[in-house]
C-alpha cells in the first residue's frame, strides 16, 4: 500500500491556464475561472514536505473539507462546486488574501511553545499570565500568518497587515467576523462528536465581482487541532498531555527525533510501520471528526482514476 499514494499530478485538462503546487495540494486554474484542486497524499510538518506519502490522506482531507464547507455555507459563501473524485474538489477561482486567519481557543501548539519562552504577545495579541499548556482562553484569539510561497509562514499582527496594505482594513474586519463565526460553528460540530476544536486556520479569497469567499480546506486534521472532550478537565488538573486528534502527533514524533524544520536539521526516516500507523491515525481522525465510517477509495492507478473522473465531470459540466 505504501507505493499506492498520489505524490504529484500531471493532469491533462482542457483550458489549463496555470498550475500551482502547494505543500499538499495541486491547483489547476482553467478558463472561465474554474479551479481543480487535488489533495495529494503528501504530508507536511513545520512547513516541510516529508518525502513519503500517507495512504488515503488526500482523500480524508478532501472529504472532511467538503462536509465542513457544506456545514458552514450559511455563514460565508465558499468556492466549492463539486467533488468529482475522492481526492478532488472543483470550484470557483478567486484572488486569495495573502494571510491565513489562525484562531486559537486554547493555549496549544505554536502558542504554547511561544508562551513557554516567557513571551506573552503573539501576533500583537496579549496572552494572560498564569496559564498552563492547553488551558482555554476566555475568548478565542486570532493570530494571523502571512502565506509564504516557499518555506515558513510568518506570524503577523492585525495592525501590520493593515499598515502594510496586505489586506484592506474593511476586508480584514470582515475576515475577523467570518473567522469567529466559523470557529464557533466548528466548535459546535466538534462538541457533537465529543471533541474540542482547539485551534484552526481559515483562508479566504475575493471573487472577480468583489465577494469574499472561504477557500482551501476547513476543519481538517491538517488545518486544525482537536482534543477529546472526555477527560480534558481531569488531564488539565493533573498536568497531563491532552489526547488529541490532529497531525500534532507527527510534529511531536519529528521533534523527538531532532527535527523542527530548522536549518541544519535532518529529516528522520519514516519506515513502513510508521507510515501505516499515520495512515490509520488519519482514518481515525476522519471517523471521529465526521461521525461517519471511512470508505477507502480504489488505490489502483490513482492518477488515472483522477484524470478520468475530473475529465468526465468537466465534459458533463459544459454540456
Give me the mean pLDDT over the 48-62 stretch: 92
Give me the mean pLDDT over the 122-139 stretch: 97
pLDDT of 319 higher than 70: no
Outline where DSSP puts E strands in the chain. 16-21, 25-30, 34-39, 44-45, 48-49, 80-85, 88-92, 95-96, 99-106, 121-122, 125-126, 136-142, 145-146, 154-155, 195-206, 212-215, 224-228, 244-245
Asked if residues 1 and 276 have their Cβ atoms less than 8 Å apart, the reply is yes
* pLDDT at 218 (0 to 100): 94
Asked if residues 26 and 16 have their Cβ atoms less than 8 Å apart, the reply is no
* pLDDT range class, residue 34, cuts 50, 70, 90: very high
Sign of CA dihedral 225, 292, 77, 22: positive
* pLDDT at 162 (0 to 100): 97
Per-residue CA distances from 59 to 106, 145, 234, 313 (Å):
28, 26, 35, 18
Give me the mean pLDDT over the 251-276 stretch: 89
* pLDDT at 222 (0 to 100): 81
pLDDT of 48 higher than 90: no
* pLDDT at 285 (0 to 100): 87
pLDDT of 152 higher than 70: no
Nearest to 16 by CA among 317, 301, 311: 311
Better pLDDT: 1 or 267: 267
Asked if residues 146 and 201 have their Cβ atoms less than 8 Å apart, the reply is no
pLDDT of 167 higher than 70: yes
DSSP string, 8-44: ------TTEEEEEE-SSEEEEEEGGGEEEEEE-S--E
Written as nine digits, the cell of 17 is 491556464
Supply the pTM of this predicted model: 0.87
Better pLDDT: 153 or 86: 86
pLDDT tens readout for residues 87-101: 999 999 999 999 999
Q: Could you tell me the domains of the chain? A: 96-245 (3.30.470.20)
Cα angle for residues 184, 140, 60 (degrees, 5° grid):
55
* pLDDT at 251 (0 to 100): 85
pLDDT tens readout for residues 215-229: 988 999 888 999 999
Amino acid at each position: 500500500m505504501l507505493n499506492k499514494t498520489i505524490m504529484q499530478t500531471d493532469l491533462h485538462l482542457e483550458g489549463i491556464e496555470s498550475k500551482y503546487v502547494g505543500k499538499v495540494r495541486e491547483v489547476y486554474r482553467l478558463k472561465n475561472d474554474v479551479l481543480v484542486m487535488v489533495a495529494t497524499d503528501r504530508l507536511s510538518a513545520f512547513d516541510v514536505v516529508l518525502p513519503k506519502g500517507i495512504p488515503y490522506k488526500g482523500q480524508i482531507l478532501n472529504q472532511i473539507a467538503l462536509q465542513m464547507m457544506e456545514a458552514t455555507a450559511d455563514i460565508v459563501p465558499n468556492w466549492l462546486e463539486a467533488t468529482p473524485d475522492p481526492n478532488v474538489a472543483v470550484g470557483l477561482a478567486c484572488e486569495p488574501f495573502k494571510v491565513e486567519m489562525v484562531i486559537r481557543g486554547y493555549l496549544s501548539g505554536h502558542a504554547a511553545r511561544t508562551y513557554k519562552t516567557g513571551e506573552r504577545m503573539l501576533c500583537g495579541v496579549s496572552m494572560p499570565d498564569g496559564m498552563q499548556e492547553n488551558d482555554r482562553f476566555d475568548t478565542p484569539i486570532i493570530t494571523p500568518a502571512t502565506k509564504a510561497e516557499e518555506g515558513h509562514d510568518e506570524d503577523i499582527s492585525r495592525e501590520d497587515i493593515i499598515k502594510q496594505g496586505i489586506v484592506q482594513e474593511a476586508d480584514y474586519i470582515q475576515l475577523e467576523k467570518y473567522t469567529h463565526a466559523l470557529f464557533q460553528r466548528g466548535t459546535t460540530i466538534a462538541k457533537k462528536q465529543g471533541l474540542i476544536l482547539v485551534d484552526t486556520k481559515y483562508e479566504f479569497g475575493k471573487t472577480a465581482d468583489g465577494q469574499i469567499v472561504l477557500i482551501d480546506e476547513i476543519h481538517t486534521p491538517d488545518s486544525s487541532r482537536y482534543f477529546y472532550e472526555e477527560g480534558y478537565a481531569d488531564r488539565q488538573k493533573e498536568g497531563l498531555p491532552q489526547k488529541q486528534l490532529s497531525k500534532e502527533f507527527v510534529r511531536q514524533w519529528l521533534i523527538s527525533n531532532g527535527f523542527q524544520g530548522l536549518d541544519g536539521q535532518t529529516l528522520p526516516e519514516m519506515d513502513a510501520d510508521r507510515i501505516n500507523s499515520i495512515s490509520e491515525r488519519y482514518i481515525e481522525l476522519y471517523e471521529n471528526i465526521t461521525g461517519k465510517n471511512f470508505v477507502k477509495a480504489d488505490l489502483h492507478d490513482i492518477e488515472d482514476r483522477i484524470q478520468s473522473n475530473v475529465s468526465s465531470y468537466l465534459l458533463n459540466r459544459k454540456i
